[in-house]
Structure 1
Amino acid sequence: MFKMAQVFVYGTLKSGQPNNYRMLDAANGKAKLLARSRTVDSYPLVIATQYNVPFLLNIPGKGHRVQGEIYSVDEKMLNFLDWFERCPHQYQRTLVKLEVDEWVGEGENNPKAGSIVEAFVYSTTTYKPEWLQNPTYENYNYKGDHGLEYIRREDRSTK
């Protein structure tokens, strides 16, 4: 039997971002928001490609402590996320240590603010060297001051 997995999202899948609806779509599986958190280690979160995609580069110790959300997901949603994130080709799913900012999930014995938990994250070791020259971000927002608005897959031309 599959135990629910915890996944940390930091980009377009977060609340208020253009792909969050995918986390809420029951056809993809079950996902429940548990907490707002940040990575314990710093990582470079960059915006790259002509589609302005946020990428968490798996280079601990560089960049910022990245802010995001922890979701509890079932096996169907985890499989969907693997497909959506093109895992293992574009992103790899690995465990990351997170510091809880605010636990919003229900239940008893929930981690308090400042607690350290682990969750899966989709990060990449496959990137173009010039991405290391891109600005890094602590908190991704597709309409942020960076001016690099994310282009959804549905809106990308097939040319």
Structure 2
Amino acid sequence: MFPIRVFVYGTLKRGEPNEHHLTLSSGIQQFIGSGKTSNKFPLIIASKFNIPMVLRERGFGNQIRGEVYEINEEKLQCLDQLEAYPELYTREIEQIELDSGDVTNAWMYMVHEWRPDIYQQSSELLKDYSSKGSHGREYVDSEDVSHPDQLYDH
């Protein structure tokens, strides 16, 4: 079986609020390296929970910085549950340019359905996410965000 690689760009990165879901939950993971997407995407912070998310809109936005991990099927299932896949997020294989100069393919979670006004409710288009970044929108832990309408302030 081929190894499973996943690219994380938000709260699952090292030092971010949900890192423990990647490192401590069931399954195995191994850090491969940091890098950026070959394609451009909109990375925004949205909702009352200040959730970082990439919208599935290739070619718009920036190359997104993040981390690549090698994981097993059990860890992928944990991440699928955390990311509300496939209801809220889809995951697709994307090409990642590692800082080492290598190029790899990895699963990347993206929001596949959103209202047009999500850009008005979000921050600027980011290249790199940090919960404590200059955007001033620190992540708020949410119990269950599994439906697209929960991404909007009501």
- TM-score, L = length of structure 1: 0.84
* Root mean square deviation, CA, Å: 1.5
**Contact preservation (8 Å) 1:10, 1:69:** yes
What secondary structure sits across from 2:118 in the alignment? helix
Q: Distance in 2 between matches of 1:61 and 1:4?
A: 28
1:146 shift after superposition: 0.5
Q: Distance in 2 between matches of 1:18 and 1:45?
A: 17
Contact 1:51–1:151 (CA under 8 A) maintained in structure 2: yes
Structure 1's 131 and 66: CA in aligned 2 closer, same or farther, altered over 3 A?
same
2:124 aligned with 1:153, yes or no? no
Q: Does 1:123 align with 2:147?
A: no
Contact 1:97 1:118 in 2 (8 A): yes
Which 4+ residue blocks in structure 1 deviate beyond 4 angstroms?
none
* Pairing 1:50-69 to 2, within 5 Å after superposition: 50-69=48-67
1:58-111 Cα deviation digits (max 9, x unpaired): 11111111000000011110000011100001100110011011xxxxxxxxxx
TM-superposition CA deviations, 1:31-74 (whole Å, max 9, x none):
11111010001100000011000110111111111000000011
Which structure has more strand as a fraction of its residues?
A: 2
TM-score, normalised with respect to structure 2: 0.87
Gaps of 5+ in 2: 146-154
The CA deviation at 1:153 is 2.3
Contact 1:4 1:75 in 2 (8 A): no
Identity percentage over the alignment?
34
**Larger CA Rg, structure 1 vs 2:** 1
SS state at 1:150 partner:
coil
Q: How many pairs does the alignment contain? A: 142
Counterpart in 1 of 2:6? 7
Which position in structure 1 is the counterpart of 2:71? 73
- Aligned mates of 1:45, 1:128 — CA distance in 2: 15
Query: What does residue 16 of structure 1 align with?
Result: 15
C-alpha contact (below 8 Å) 2:21/2:79 kept by paired residues: no
* Partner Cα separation in structure 2 for residue 139 and residue 116 of structure 1: 19
| Partner AA of 1:61 in structure 2 | G
Equivalent residues of 1:43, 1:63 under 8 A apart: yes
